[in-house]
């Protein structure tokens, strides 16, 4: 009876009663809310009963059930994302049966007898911390083992970058390239030609990614390469404007107007609180008096240098 009365989609945790109707229309909003809550509680109980009828397994948090496939198709805004193709390492690990295990971030370093990071700065077994490298029978005489290690590391990094670009190329062919990589696809040698760049990204995705990339640069996207049809920023940043130092027409006249405006405010009748006119006049007179005295002293010293005093050569009246 219950299966005929309700339509239960346990995959979506949803139940529906198509035969339900109000006996009498509710007169108030509170009455309508009470009827909806009562019917909702009844439908939730139906979903719970269907869940407990499924086979379950015991877990740490209690019984766990696996939901079946949904029977009701719900609309979605965007299409399902395509799965990424496996990388070369994933294919190799699957072929060899290698399983991924979680490793500890700290590893014991036997050289220093301390715990160090597995990767990054001050990591374990760092080549730069080894002062002596034991020679092997296969080493060539006169070869620097430290430079050899640097060259080998550089080759490993180049090989890893090559594999990364190859994986991106495979993802681009399958249409599973992330949107932020699609934006930078013109700068990465992953597609060969610009015509092969995926064009399935929506307008909103490109605008969001372009906005994030623009804010990540020091110039705020001013010198970035513009996409076809990309619009300028709606809210451009405000920049400070400085007046020109040379007086002239237009902008050059504004500095003079600003200075005149400030002087008018200072010399206005109600400017006693801003400027003490008597004190300003006194300071001006004192400054002028000091300058006059300084000029007088300079002129007197210069005249003394130009007109030296004459010495008298009169004979003394004393007899020898």
Q: Read off the pLDDT of each residue in 206-212 and give the average, rounded to a whole number.
A: 71
pLDDT over 90 (residue 72): no
Residue 212 in any domain: the answer is: no
Q: Which two tokens stand for residue 48?
A: 């719970």
Q: Read off the pLDDT of each residue in 87-105 and give the average, rounded to a whole number.
A: 88
CA distance to 113, 177, 199, 203, 257, per residue, from 211 (Å): 48, 19, 18, 12, 41
Residue where one domain finishes, among candidates 136, 152, 173 = 173
The closest alpha carbon to 174, from 200, 193, 195, belongs to 200
> For residue 305, what pLDDT is reported?
60
pLDDT-derived band at 320 (thresholds 50, 70, 90) equals: very low
How far apart (Å, rounded) are the C-alpha atoms in residues 72 and 74?
Answer: 6
Residue 320 in any domain: the answer is: no
pLDDT over 60 (residue 313): no
Residue 252 in any domain: the answer is: no
> For residue 159, what pLDDT is reported?
92
> For residue 158, what pLDDT is reported?
92
Number of domains, the chain: 2
> For residue 16, what pLDDT is reported?
86
pLDDT-derived band at 21 (thresholds 50, 70, 90) equals: confident
Residue 57 in any domain: the answer is: yes
- In the chain, the largest separation of any two C-alpha atoms, in whole Å, equals 164
Q: Read off the pLDDT of each residue in 116-144 and give the average, rounded to a whole number.
A: 82
DSSP state of 123: B
Q: Which residue has the higher pLDDT, 114 or 302?
A: 114
Residue 291 in any domain: the answer is: no
pLDDT over 70 (residue 58): yes
What number of other Cβ atoms are within 10 A of residue 181's Cβ? Answer: 15
Q: Read off the pLDDT of each residue in 102-128 and give the average, rounded to a whole number.
A: 84
The closest alpha carbon to 77, from 172, 205, 174, belongs to 205
Query: Does residue 107 sit in helix, strand or coil?
Result: strand
pTM of the complete model beyond 0.85: no
Q: Read off the pLDDT of each residue in 146-175 and give the average, rounded to a whole number.
A: 86
How far apart (Å, rounded) are the C-alpha atoms in residues 103 and 200?
Answer: 38
> For residue 194, what pLDDT is reported?
47
Residue 52 in any domain: the answer is: yes
Residue 97 in any domain: the answer is: no
Q: Which two tokens stand for residue 141?
A: 């005489």
Give me the domain span that covers residue 44: 7-65
Instruction: Give the angle 306-308-309 at the CA atoms, nearest 5°.
Output: 155
Helix and strand totals (H; E) in the chain: 8, 6
- Residues in CB range of 17: below 8 A, 6 or more apart: 5, 6, 7, 39, 42, 43
pLDDT-derived band at 244 (thresholds 50, 70, 90) equals: low
Query: Does residue 180 sit in helix, strand or coil?
Result: helix
> For residue 241, what pLDDT is reported?
66
Q: Read off the pLDDT of each residue in 290-303 and give the average, rounded to a whole number.
A: 82
How far apart (Å, rounded) are the C-alpha atoms in residues 208 and 88?
Answer: 31
Q: Read off the pLDDT of each residue in 19-29 and give the average, rounded to a whole number.
A: 83
pLDDT over 80 (residue 204): no
pLDDT over 90 (residue 155): yes
pLDDT-derived band at 145 (thresholds 50, 70, 90) equals: confident
Residue showing tokens 């594999």: 163
Q: Positive or negative, the Cα torsion across 278, 282, 288, 289?
A: positive
pLDDT over 60 (residue 236): no
Residue where one domain finishes, among candidates 50, 65, 80 = 65
> For residue 190, what pLDDT is reported?
52
Q: Read off the pLDDT of each residue in 133-150 and give the average, rounded to a whole number.
A: 84
Residue where one domain finishes, among candidates 173, 189, 214 = 173
Q: Which residue has the higher pLDDT, 307 or 48?
A: 48
The closest alpha carbon to 206, from 197, 193, 219, belongs to 197
> For residue 150, what pLDDT is reported?
87
What phi and psi values does residue 34 have, to the nearest 5 degrees?
-65, -40
Q: Which helix or strand (DSSP H or E) is residue 108 part of? A: strand 106-109
DSSP state of 196: G
Average pLDDT taken over every residue of the chain:
77
Q: Which residue has the higher pLDDT, 174 or 215?
A: 174
- Ranges 12-26, 45-59, 164-178, 237-251: which has the least confidence: 237-251
> For residue 188, what pLDDT is reported?
54
Q: Read off the pLDDT of each residue in 216-236 and give the average, rounded to a whole number.
A: 68
> For residue 222, what pLDDT is reported?
72
Residue 107 in any domain: the answer is: no
């Amino acid at each position: 009876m219950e299966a005929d009365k309700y339509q239960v989609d346990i995959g979506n945790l949803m139940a529906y009663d198509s035969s339900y109707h109000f006996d009498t229309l509710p007169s108030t909003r509170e009455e309508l809310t009470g009827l909806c809550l009562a019917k909702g509680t009844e439908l939730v109980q139906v979903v719970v009963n269907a869940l407990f009828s499924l086979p379950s397994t015991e877990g740490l948090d209690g019984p766990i059930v696996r939901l079946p496939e949904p029977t009701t198709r719900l609309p979605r805004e965007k299409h399902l994302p395509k799965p990424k193709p496996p990388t070369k390492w994933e294919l190799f690990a699957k072929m060899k049966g290698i399983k991924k295990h979680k490793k500890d971030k700290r590893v014991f370093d036997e050289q220093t007898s301390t715990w160090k990071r597995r990767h990054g700065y001050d990591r374990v077994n760092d080549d730069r911390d080894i002062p002596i490298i034991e020679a092997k029978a296969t080493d060539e005489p006169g070869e620097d083992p430290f430079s050899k290690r640097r060259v080998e590391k550089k080759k490993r990094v180049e090989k890893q970058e090559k594999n990364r670009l190859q994986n991106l190329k495979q993802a681009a062919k399958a249409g599973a390239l992330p949107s932020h990589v699609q934006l930078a696809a013109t700068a990465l040698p992953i597609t060969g030609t610009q015509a092969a760049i995926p064009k399935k990204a929506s307008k909103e995705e490109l605008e969001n990614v372009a906005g994030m990339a623009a804010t990540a640069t020091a110039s705020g996207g001013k010198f970035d390469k513009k996409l076809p049809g990309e619009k300028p920023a709606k809210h451009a940043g405000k920049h400070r404007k400085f007046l020109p130092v040379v007086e002239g027409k237009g902008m050059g006249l504004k500095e003079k107007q600003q200075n005149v405006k400030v002087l008018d405010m200072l010399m206005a009748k109600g400017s006693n609180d801003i400027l003490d006119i008597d004190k300003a006049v006194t300071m001006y007179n004192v400054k002028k008096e000091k300058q006059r005295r300084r000029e007088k002293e300079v002129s007197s010293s210069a005249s003394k240098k130009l007109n030296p005093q004459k010495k008298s050569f009169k004979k003394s009246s004393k007899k020898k």
